[in-house]
């Protein structure tokens, strides 16, 4: 547990350095949180999860840091839910699923994700820099609880 935390913190530190971003305490903690919590946390959830360790942490820092991480490719911003933006520390292309019942955002590792090999141009001349494939519906757990048949 301790070791895992340490490794992940170190991992976060290394990733930030690799992008030329100064690995401040807050940034390492926020990226570390994303790497250890694959639950697609919202800004609020990251803030709540870290405010114990960093009592003076501000919402502002969480907002700006998460946005920055998404901007430089160390995380993904997920806008699948119209109520809450959330983030994913796994920046590799994969499909996301939103359950309209319980509100969870889940990974769909078995679905094939559209990927961009470098910069891509559409037939209209638009430059594509990122892709997101979102599925919405009812997750397995909620379907069972509600006895929904396939």
- Mask of contacts with a copy of itself, 75-94, x by CB under 8 A? --x-xxxx--x---------
Taking the complex as a whole, how short is the minimal distance between the CB of residue 134 and DNA, in angstroms? 16
In whole angstroms, what is the distance from residue 108 CA to residue 105 CA? Answer: 10
Q: How far apart are the first and last CA of the chain?
A: 40
Identify the H or E element spanning 106. strand 105-108
How many residues form the binding site for DNA (CB under 7 A)? 24
Show Cβ contacts of residue 80 under 8 Å, excluding neighbours closer than 6 positions. Answer: 86, 96, 98, 105, 132, 134, 136
Q: How far is residue 57's CA from residue 127's CA, in Å, rounded to a whole number?
A: 37
117 binds DNA per the rule CB under 7 A: no
Cβ atoms 31, 69 nearer than 8 A: yes
Given 44, 130, 131, 144, the residue binding DNA (CB under 7 A): 44
Distance in Å, CB of 24 to a copy of itself, minimum? 24
Binding map of a copy of itself across residues 119-148, x = CB under 8 A, - = no contact: x-xxxxxxxxxxxxxxxxxxxx--x----x
Using CB under 7 A as the binding rule, whether residue 57 contacts DNA is answered as yes
**Interface residues with DNA (CB under 7 A)?**
21-22, 24-27, 42-44, 54, 56-61, 63-65, 67, 82-85
């Amino acid at each position: 547990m301790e070791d895992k935390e340490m490794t992940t913190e170190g991992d976060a530190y290394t990733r930030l350095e690799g992008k030329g971003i100064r690995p401040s305490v807050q940034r390492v903690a926020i990226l570390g949180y994303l790497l250890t919590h694959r639950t697609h946390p919202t800004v609020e959830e990251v803030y709540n999860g870290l405010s114990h360790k960093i009592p003076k942490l501000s919402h502002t820092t969480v907002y700006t840091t998460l946005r920055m991480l998404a901007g430089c490719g160390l995380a993904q911003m997920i806008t699948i839910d119209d109520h809450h933006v959330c983030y994913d520390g796994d920046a590799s292309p994969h499909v996301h699923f939103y359950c309209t019942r319980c509100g969870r955002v889940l990974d769909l590792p078995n679905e094939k994700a559209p990927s961009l090999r470098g910069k891509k141009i559409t037939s209209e001349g638009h430059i594509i820099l990122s892709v997101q494939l979102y599925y919405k519906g009812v997750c397995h757990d909620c379907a069972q609880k509600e006895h929904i048949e396939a």
